[in-house]
Homo-oligomer: A and B are copies of this chain.
Amino acid sequence: MEEGMLDVANASHYFEGVEKLLEIWFEERPEQNGDLRNITRPEWEELLRHVRCEIISFKKNDFIDAFLLSESSMFVSKRRWILKTCGTTTPLRCLEQLLDLAKQQGYTVITDIFYSRKNFTRPEVQQSPHKGFYEEVTYLDSIFPEGRSYCLGSINLECWYLYTFSRPVVVKALPDLLLAAEQEDHLNTDPDQTIEILMQNLDKDVMLAFNKSRFATGPEATQHSGIDQILPDMVIDDFLFDPCGYSMNGINEQGEYMTIHITPEEKFSYVSFESNVALNNYTRLINQVIRTFKPGKFIVTIFANKSSLAYDTMKELEIEYSTLSNWKRTDMQCCSFPTYNLLFAQYSRSVENWA
């Protein structure tokens, strides 16, 4: 989230807070003893040069390595890699190097890949292959020939793009009961879920906390803003950029992570929240995030695989959040993918409801 010197006189100053999010899962095989966390710091630094960002801080526990980057975050687990970068970074350009490094750890088969982002506010300043979603898809298709690409939300207004590939699940033509039994078998995968809340038009007063003129350090901004209360069991690594901007990673002893990135400038304010925390119901979490940052509009996406607790409650959320809050839901879509379900919803503030 490192941003150039804020030049108030320069009307063209702009920072694209919207992140490009890449998540890749590799297949665990019995004979394979590798671990993506064995990849060395110099190897990651070299890989991130292709992305055009740097490591600025690092925390780890028994389950996950969490890197705070000059432009967002990277999370490395045994067989899962997550890279989230904003600005004009080029995360897709490091894919071939990542696949090489993974191969050295014995990972040669990808089970799932997700590349997603909200529409850019200023697509024209992005670098290739990120100049548009079609260019990104063409690039991804050159590496993963079976990917599928989606546009959620209204394609002439605001939307969220997703490219996804899952190793095909072979479903044979079987009598119903056998088929049901075979489907049960898919439950033997690890539960997994990811929630993202992408917020824009944020409250001016809330955003003040994420300026160096207000606080000297990340931890002060974290505590003042209430970020430390969102998921209290997370060990936090936070950073306040000069002159403004904020990033944090959190990890807990369940191997779960959270990450928040803030572009506070009023003209293009943007805050993203992401976590893979396992919850039965995400309504409370969404409400707390929204109360913390007070956006004018936001997008929620929830991915959950069939083993996840979130899987069954996604549809509950669909109903509950629209009736229990004073937000206007401008879009709501669900997608069923081979191993994951996705809920996408867009909200905008219809009344002043911070009371």
Q: Chain A interface (Cβ within 8 Å of chain B)?
A: 134, 137, 141, 147-151, 153-157, 171-173, 176, 179-180, 183, 315, 318, 323-324, 326, 328-329, 331-336, 350-351, 353
Contacts and interface: CB of A to CB of B under 8 A. Distances in A.
A323 B176 contact: yes
Contact of A149 (B154, B176, B180, B328): B154
B335 A173 contact: no
Contact of A157 (B148, B151, B318, B324): B148
Q: What copy number does this chain have within its complex?
A: 2
A137 B155 CA distance: 10
Nearest to A133: B155
Contact of A324 (B149, B150, B176, B326): B176
A149 B155 contact: yes
A72 to B, nearest CB: 26
B155 A150 contact: yes
Contact of A141 (B151, B156, B336): B156
A153 to B, nearest CB: 8
A106 to B, nearest CB: 31
5 contacts: A148-B156, A172-B351, A173-B351, A329-B336, A334-B334
Which of A150, A318, A350 has the most B CB atoms < 10 Å from its CB?
A: A150
B350 A171 contact: yes
A246 B155 CA distance: 35
Closest 9 CB pairs of A and B: A332-B336, A148-B154, A173-B326, A334-B334, A173-B351, A149-B156, A333-B335, A151-B151, A149-B155
Nearest to A328: B171
Contacts of A329: 336
Contacts of A323: 176, 179-180, 183
